[in-house]
A and B are shown apart, each in its own frame.
Chain A
Amino acid sequence: MTPSPSVLTGSSRRTFRLAVPPVSGVLRPRLVAVCVTLAVGAFLVFCWGVAIGDYPVGLADVMKALAGSGDPGTLLVVRELRLPRAMVGLLAGVAFALSGALFQTMTRNPLASPDMIGIIEGAGTAVVAGIVLGWDGGLSTQALGLLGALATALLVYLLAWRRGTTGYRIILVGIGVAWMCTSATDFLMARGGRFQAQAALGWLVGNLNGRDWAQVGPLAVTMAALVPAALLLGRWMRTLQLGDDLATGLGTPVQRARLALLLVGVGLIAFATAAAGPVAFVALAAPQIAQRLAGTAWPPLVASGLTGALVVLSADLIARTLIPGTELPVGIVTGALGAPVLLWLLIRANRAGSGG
């Protein structure tokens, strides 16, 4: 056997097979190009976000400060004030979008997003209860959100377990639990005072204001473990998409694969929500946008994550600069920004006749 790759050329994809080491796969030039473009875009917006503010820093100085040099004043502003916020935006964007891609692929349903199966709603109820009833027990908003999210996720999984579980049952049970959490949140919002309601809403739309390294740390550690796991699980995810029977036939341990995918998806969304609040729409829209940009038949994981980061970072940039002197919550802008992009892609797909 020679190690020369045998290449099958196609219009948009190439397969390759190496004898030593025994690796085969599909190359998708368009997907790679989309990923690179998104990564460059996200990096530029990231730097731009760090550069602007009350004390403007030049882009060149930002790069220098990121690398660890520059004058102490700039270093302080960049590293202690601006960088944590941008990092939370970047990481949360990736986490939301990856989690959304996992759920949508696993359930084969573009409307299924982790927003609707109770995890985010559970975090919201915990935080709003903390704000309105004062039941924070000395915990930070971040810790409350995380506890709420993880407790709800556990509850959903336990309730959906009955001699194994199916993706469909988890989603339906999740919808039931989400329904209760949303109602409890609405009830608390209506019960609380004006200012408490406003504070609660400020968290509920998703917010990056005043983030520091304490928020970045847990999210970064979690993602360092979960993002590679998500990428490794991608293979199982694709077989699960074919249905349980076929996946079993192809050698996928269905129950374990689903549990692993759920754990990864839930972990990502729980920590991201705790750090940034439930930033609207990213989990649902980013995978769909990425899928249409890359021209694939399923939401591509890496491209989804990069799209999520780009959407959240750009939204934060707009939120900070739209009204001078006021910092809008980022969640307001992600909804307003993501929606037209998704709509445009939908319409364009129609024109090309390539389907949704």
Chain B
Amino acid sequence: MTRDKGLRPVFLAAVLAALLVVLCLLSIALGALNIPLDQVVRTLFGHPDSTRVENVIWSVRIPRTALGLAAGAALGLSGALMQALTRNPLADPGVLGVSAGASFAIVLSVAVLGVGSVLGYIWFAFAGALVASVLVYLLGGLGRSGQTPVKLALAGVAVTSLLTSLTSAIALTDPDALNRYRFWNAGSLADRDGGVVLQVLPFLIVGAVLALSSAPALNSLALGDDVAASLGRRLGLVRLQGVAAVTLLTGGAVVAIGPVVFVGLVVPHVARVLAQQAGIGPDHRWLLPLSAVLAPCLVLTADVIGRLVVRPSEIQAGVLVAFIGAPFFIALVRRRRLAEV
């Protein structure tokens, strides 16, 4: 790579990082109470203008922004990872059954145990996500010839559909469970206090480390199983690491903000186009971080707009993510010949 071309990825990264910082500041500043940006900055550096502003910023806006940032990045990363693992551009982070497992566990915990709060069912949801994902991994690898990407994806789809059926069955017979489920299902960053972020953050960090460190192996995997194996990659280990990362990332994000898995499907496509433009090509060492930065941009934008359009009420971020992300995505699909995975 020549020096001239080498500059462009750095420029791209700088632009995206700046965009993300601006969005974070906006997310802290805007809402039912608009706080001027200079006050936001002063409060962040420990010189608040009033205790009211300080309270709003530290106890509402910052946890919410942090949640959007963390969950968004997790969804972007796990989407890119999932598409690489299954070598299928249509795979989303929910393909391993993670979000269906979480949904099922939430409905079950409300219906059977009468759990009522987000903090109450977060552990059930996480357990459900984990169990579903392990089940898919084991089912996808049964037998002599072991896993192939197609089998893993199909096993995931089958388990997802099984769990979705059971979720609907419970939700149809238990109005309370349906009530909880439909609000969680729409996907939102609202009413999550700092506790939710802190509880899921360790999982997300471990997942992110696992994901980012598997990038070189994913590059080999893209060449096909045989080539990857002859390049010295231990396929089973790479897949195990990938599945573990997807489970932690998607599980953490989904229990915190709802099953907004579409973000993880669409963002890697955008990342691929950007990478192509910057002359990097489909290199997962770039694609994974790019997806991890683009996804929270989308989630935060949706959340901020959702707070502004129907003030003082809100539209769930999960809903607006679609209405912002989808037109952009469609325009992109129309404009460019998307790099096929």
A346 touches B155 (CB 8 A): yes
Query: Chain A residues with Cβ under 8 A from B175's Cβ?
Result: 194, 198
Q: Are A205 and B168 in contact (CB under 8 A)?
A: yes
Question: 1/0 per residue B308-330: CB within 8 Å of A?
Answer: 00000001101111110111011
Enumerate chain A residues within 8 angstroms of B269, measured Cβ to Cβ: 172
Instruction: Indicate if B55 sits at the interface (CB-CB under 8 A).
Output: no
Which of A176, A184, A197, A280 interacts with B161 by CB under 8 Å?
Answer: A280
Task: Of the listed stretches A8-16, A73-81, A330-338, name the one at the interface; the rest are far from the partner chain.
Answer: A330-338
- B91 cross-chain contacts in A, Cβ below 8 A: 111
Q: Are A110 and B153 in contact (CB under 8 A)?
A: yes
Q: Which residues on B sit within 8 Å (CB–CB) of A111?
A: 88, 90-91, 95, 153-154, 157
A285 near B323: Cβ-Cβ < 8 Å: no
A198 lies within 8 A of B178 (CB)? yes
How many angstroms from the CA of A325 to the CA of B160 in the assembled complex? 28
B164-189 vs A, Cβ < 8 Å mask (1 yes, 0 no) = 11101101100100110011011100
CA distance A168 to B89 in the complex (A): 10
Q: Which segment of B28-36, B144-152, B207-215, B245-253 sits at the interface?
A: B144-152
- Separation in Å of the A185 CB from the closest CB of chain B? 9
The answer to whether B183 and A338 touch across the interface, beta carbons within 8 angstroms, is no
How long is the Cα–Cα vector from A335 to B186 in the complex, in angstroms?
A: 22
**Across-interface contacts of B166 in A (CB, < 8 A):** 332, 336
A168 close to B144 (CB less than 8 A): no
- A143-186 Cβ-contact flags toward B at 8 Å (1 or 0): 00000000000000001101000001101110111011011101
| B334 interfacial by beta-carbon distance below 8 Å | yes
Q: Is B98 an interface residue, CB under 8 A from the partner?
A: no
Q: Is B262 an interface residue (CB 8 A)?
A: yes
A110 surroundings in chain B (CB, below 8 A): 150, 153-154
- List residues of chain B with CB within 8 A of the CB of A334: 165
CB distance from A102 to the nearest CB of B (A): 16
Please state if A351 and B178 are interface contacts (CB–CB under 8 Å).
Answer: no
A96 at the interface (CB under 8 A from B): no
Within 8 Å by CB of A280, from B144, B165, B182, B265, lies B165
- A180 and B172 form a contact (CB under 8 A): no
Closest to A202 in B: B172
- Residue pair B90, A186 in contact (C-beta under 8 Å): no
Q: Looking at the assembled complex, report how far the CB atom of B137 sits from the nearest CB atom of chain A, in whole angstroms.
A: 13
Asked if A168 contacts B154 (CB within 8 A), the reply is no
Query: Which B residues are CB-close (under 8 A) to A177?
Result: 326, 330
Interface of B is mostly: helix
Q: Which of B139, B145, B148, B171 is in CB contact (< 8 Å) with A343?
A: B139
Which chain B residues lie closer than 8 Å to A130 at the CB level? none
Choice from B90, B151, B162, B321 contacting A336 with Cβ under 8 Å: B162
* Chain A 320-341 per-residue mask, 1 if CB under 8 angstroms from chain B, else 0: 0000000011011111101110
A329-B333 contact in complex given A179-B262, A335-B162, C-beta closer than 8 Å: no
**Most-contacted residue by chain B among A116, A197, A343, A355 (CB, 10 A):** A343
The reply on B232 being an interface residue by CB < 8 A is: no
User: Residue A190 at the B interface, CB < 8 A?
Assistant: yes
Judge whether A201 is part of the interface by a CB distance below 8 angstroms: yes
Contact in complex: B165, A335 (CB < 8 Å):
yes
Q: Is A236 an interface residue (CB 8 A)?
A: no
**Is A281 interfacial (CB-CB < 8 Å)?**
yes
Contact of A356 with B by CB under 8 A: yes
Q: How far is the CA of A350 from the CA of B139 in the complex (A)?
A: 10
Complex Cα distance, B317 from A190, in Å, reads 13
Query: Are B158 and A347 in touch, CB under 8 angstroms?
Result: no
Query: What's the minimum C-beta distance from B213 to chain A, rounded to whole angstroms?
Result: 27
Contact A331 B322 (CB under 8 A): no
Which single member of A183, A184, A205, A342 contacts B154 (CB below 8 Å)? A342
A residues within 8 A CB of B106?
none
B148 touches A356 (CB 8 A): yes
Tier of interface size on chain A: 35 or more
Point out the residue from B95, B168, B334 that lies within 8 Å of A162, measured CB to CB: B334
Collect the chain B residues with CB atoms within 8 Å of residue A314's CB: none
- The answer to whether A350 and B142 touch (CB under 8 A), given A110-B153, A169-B333, is yes
| Contact for A285 among B139, B153, B161, B322, CB less than 8 A | B161
Pairwise interchain contact A176-B186, C-beta atoms closer than 8 A: no
CB-based contact B185/A197 at 8 Å: no
The answer to whether A284 and B144 have CB atoms under 8 Å apart is no
Whether a CB of chain A sits under 8 angstroms from the CB of B159 is: yes
Residues of A near B182 (CB, < 8 A) are 186, 189-190, 197
Any B CB within 8 A of the CB of A309: no
Residues in A with CB closer than 8 Å to B327 are 176
Q: Which residues of chain A have C-beta atoms less than 8 A from B142's C-beta?
A: 347, 350
Residues of chain A lying within 8 A (CB to CB) of residue B145: 350, 353, 355
What residues on B are CB-neighbors of A335 within 8 Å? Answer: 161-162, 164-165, 168
- Of all chain B residues, the one with the shortest Cβ separation from A343 is B158
Is B150 within 8 A of A332, CB to CB?
no
Q: Are A281 and B161 in contact (CB under 8 A)?
A: yes
Chain B residues, Cβ within 8 Å of A338: 158, 161
Expressed in whole angstroms, the Cα–Cα distance for A86 and B265 within the complex equals: 37
Q: How far is the CA of A282 from the CA of B61 in the complex (A)?
A: 44
A250 to chain B, nearest CB (A): 21
Determine the chain A residues whose CB is within 8 A of the CB of B161 once the complex forms: 280-281, 284-285, 335, 338-339
- Interface residue A288 (Cβ < 8 Å from any Cβ of B): yes
**CB <8 Å contact, A205 and B323:** no
Cβ-based interface call for B227 (8 A): no
Tell me the nearest residue of chain A to B146, going by C-beta: A350
Would you call A296 an interface residue if the criterion is a C-beta within 8 Å of the partner chain's C-beta atoms? no
* A187 sits at the interface (CB 8 A): yes
Other than the given A179-B326, A347-B139, 13 more pairs (CB < 8 A) read A109-B90, A110-B153, A160-B333, A172-B338, A177-B326, A183-B321, A190-B186, A285-B161, A335-B164, A340-B158, A346-B151, A350-B146, A351-B143
State the 7 A-B residue pairs at the shortest beta-carbon distance, nearest first. A350-B143, A335-B165, A183-B322, A339-B162, A356-B150, A176-B326, A339-B158
Contact sample, A vs B, 22 pairs, CB 8 Å cutoff = A111-B154, A160-B334, A169-B334, A172-B338, A173-B334, A180-B323, A186-B187, A187-B316, A189-B185, A198-B172, A201-B171, A202-B172, A281-B165, A285-B157, A331-B168, A333-B165, A335-B164, A343-B155, A346-B139, A350-B143, A351-B143, A356-B150
